[in-house]
Amino acid sequence: MKNDFPHDWFTNYLKEQAIVNAGLTLTLNYKGKEETFCFENGIQDYMETLNIDGITPQVHYQSGEFIGRDAELKPEYRSKYEFAYAF
């Protein structure tokens, strides 16, 4: 089976998945090289990696969830959110 996906595509995709799935470890083995992606605290840890020069302000993090219903006869649903910002 021929693989037409570029290596960078897999690398970026696994990194993005590790960011949005806090604590999940993903490993890519390609031509004998192993790359591991894990952000224990998800987007919050990713934002910290962007502060390589040490001058970016503190990262602020917010998360929450709520249960809602669109109409009385519709089932309940759960909505979760999380975001991080620095300015």
Alpha helices in the chain (DSSP H): 7-20, 43-49
Tokens of 86: 């620095």
Q: Is the pTM of this model over 0.85?
A: no
Give Cα 14 to chain centroid, integer Å: 9
Residue type, 64: G
More confident residue, 20 or 58: 20
Residues 60-67 have a mean pLDDT of 90
pLDDT score, position 3: 66
Say yes or no to pLDDT of 54 above 80.
Answer: no
pLDDT score, position 60: 84
Which residues, at least 6 apart from 41, have a Cβ–Cβ distance to it below 8 Å? Answer: 22, 23
Residue 37 CB coordination number (10 Å) = 18
| pLDDT tens-place string over residues 13-52 | 999 999 999 999 999 998 889 999 999 999 888 888 887 7
